[in-house]
Amino acid sequence: MLECQDAVTEGVGGLQVTDTAQGQQPQKQKVSKAQKRREKKAAKDKERDQRIAESEVDNLSGARHMETQKIKALLRDRQLAVKEISSDGHCLYNAVAEQLKQVGDEKSMLGLRQLTADYMKSHTDDFLPFLSKHDTGDPYTPEEFEDYCNDIANTAAWGGQLELQALSRILKCSIEVIQAEGPAIKIGEEYDAKLPIILTYHRHMYGLGEHYNTVRPLAEELAEEEDS
């Protein structure tokens, strides 16, 4: 009987184990190029997200954060909140267009640009004297003013106080610009009888520089926060 058991043991010992569950190492699979690309992209995305997170931490004590908090506080006292507008060069016109929608006026950003350009061209004496070249300080020539107005209509040229003055006259309404530092700027106060347009002006919101946002009722923002 013992001899039989020894024979069985020797037979089992001589068998090759092919099942990976019994200890054989599985064959290493070759990683495809597509998989490598996915892994590389995932690593880059993770690094980007980390940079964004670090940047946001820095912004908590930075100029942008401080400015935003001041503007929010000023608006909250008036039961208003900031409504974000894209930073694409069209922010002033998009912000005004967004305000007009609240009173049923469907003028588009492009329409407002064209109206502004046409008005300034037809009232040259009201605007040309206030334009000068950034590099030299020399006043604009009539030809340069014409080009300036064409850029308003046909490009993403940034708008400022002159364009706000033109828009106030075109729309026959006052435009109030709330900023973190200094008092609010009010243009077209002679149109006070009509619902004013209220914008916010940010010097530090984006790396590209100055920016305009619009406003909305604070109740809308609070309702969204409750739903989220």
Instruction: Give the CA dihedral 29, 33, 36, 41, nearest 10 degrees.
Output: -160
Single out the catalytic residue among 88, 105, 147, 192.
Answer: 88
Q: Is 96 among the domain residues? A: yes
Active site residue 88: yes
Residue 199 has pLDDT above 70, yes or no: yes
Closest to 196 (Cα-Cα) out of 217, 174, 226, 213: 174
Q: How confident is the model at residue 63, as a pLDDT?
A: 81
Helix axes 161-171, 91-101, angle to 10 degrees: 30
125 is catalytic: no
Catalytic residue (one of 91, 149, 173, 202): 91
In a domain, 202, yes or no: yes
For 127, the token pair is 């605007």
Residue 188 has pLDDT above 70, yes or no: yes
- Residue 106 has what pLDDT? 94
The residue that leads in pLDDT, 23 or 216, is 216
Q: What is the mean pLDDT of the chain?
A: 83
CATH code of residue 137: 3.90.70.80
> Does residue 40 lie within any of the structural domains?
no
H-state helical runs in the chain: 2-13, 33-59, 63-76, 91-101, 109-122, 124-127, 142-154, 161-171, 218-227
pLDDT tops 90 at residue 84: yes
Residues spanned by the domain of 180: 82-227
| 108 is a domain residue | yes
Q: Please, which residues have CB within 8 angstroms of residue 101's CB and are 6 or more apart in sequence?
A: none
Whether residue 153 lies inside any domain: the answer is yes
Asked if the structure places residue 27 within a domain, the reply is: no
> Is 9 among the domain residues?
no
Q: Evaluate if residue 20 carries a pLDDT over 70.
A: no
Query: Is residue 113 assigned to a domain?
Result: yes
pLDDT recorded at residue 27: 56
Residue 11: predicted pLDDT:
46
CA atoms within 13 A of residue 196's CA, in its CB half-sphere: 17
User: Which of 100-104, 148-152, 190-194 is least confident?
Assistant: 190-194
Q: How many separate domains does the chain show?
A: 1
123 is catalytic: no
pTM of the model as a whole: 0.70
> What are the tens digits of pLDDT across the range 133-162?
988 999 999 999 999 999 999 999 999 999
Distance CA 64, CA 83 (A): 16
Which position among 90, 149, 173, 211 bears the catalytic label?
211
Question: For residue 39, what pLDDT is reported?
Answer: 79
pLDDT for 36 equals 74
Distance (Å) of CA 2 to CA 7, 11, 13, 57: 9, 14, 16, 77
